[in-house]
Amino acid sequence: DAGVTQSPTHLIKTRGQQVTLRCSPKSGHDTVSWYQQALGQGPQFIFQYYEEEERQRGNFPDRFSGHQFPNYSSELNVNALLLGDSALYLCASSLGGGGEKLFFGSGTQLSVL
Amino acid sequence: GEDVEQSLFLSVREGDSSVINCTYTDSSSTYLYWYKQEPGAGLQLLTYIFSNMDMKQDQRLTVLLNKKDKHLSLRIADTQTGDSAIYFCAEGTGFGAGTRLTVKP
């Protein structure tokens, strides 16, 4: 039973570029949440997708956008990258549209130079 | 949004009990959670408590919830070196900054 898988594991970009991160939820889960974790800090909620729609959003600018596909997998897109976007991006899956009992992937480490 | 606070560091001797504390502001969630993060890894759901309970025991782990004071704690009995990690308290979509637990032999 595959857990939450994220790709790529590491990514290096330059300021102004755009990036797409991918996530496949745990088998049987239909809800995907994205978090940003800066070094030494707790995860910060970006948004949550359920039934292919954004259901909740944290305090992140419109440069951060996402998508959920019919197979429940999800993408996180970040446009016009800033140095401050350097962080570990975590995907978490759950069941039924709520943010309960999250199962996390190992994350994508994004470095913006 | 939720505001979750916890102390940043805790150091204990192997075999002692560890107690990690957390306070939160939003009381609308059904569950409150403790997650564990080991170096280079994602977060692992450690345990959780239903918001209508005040205590939950799960092997070496005891979770205490004081809804009136919006205070959550995690007690680890007989702490082992393998328990060294960062522990996050979570309520709704909000996470604390994490408590780094160091267990000394």
Whether pLDDT at A11 is above 70: yes
Q: What is the mean pLDDT of residues A14-18?
A: 98
Residues of chain B with pLDDT under 70: 1-2
Determine the average pLDDT of the residues in A1-16.
93
Closest partner residue to B42 (CB to CB) among A45, A99, A107 is: A107
Distance of alpha carbon B72 from alpha carbon A38, whole angstroms = 24
Computed on alpha carbons and rounded to an integer, the radius of gyration of chain B in Å comes to 13
CA distance B80 to chain A (A): 23
Amino acid at A20: T
Residue A60 contacts B where some CB pair is shorter than 8 Å: no
H/E stretch holding B62 reads strand B61-66
Over residues A90-94, mean pLDDT: 96
Residue B42 has a pLDDT of: 85
Under 8 Å between Cβ of B33 and B96? no
8-state DSSP, A59: S
Contact A56 B93 (CB under 8 A): yes
Contacts of A89 in chain B (CB under 8 A): none
In whole angstroms, what is the distance from residue A33 CA to residue B38 CA? 20
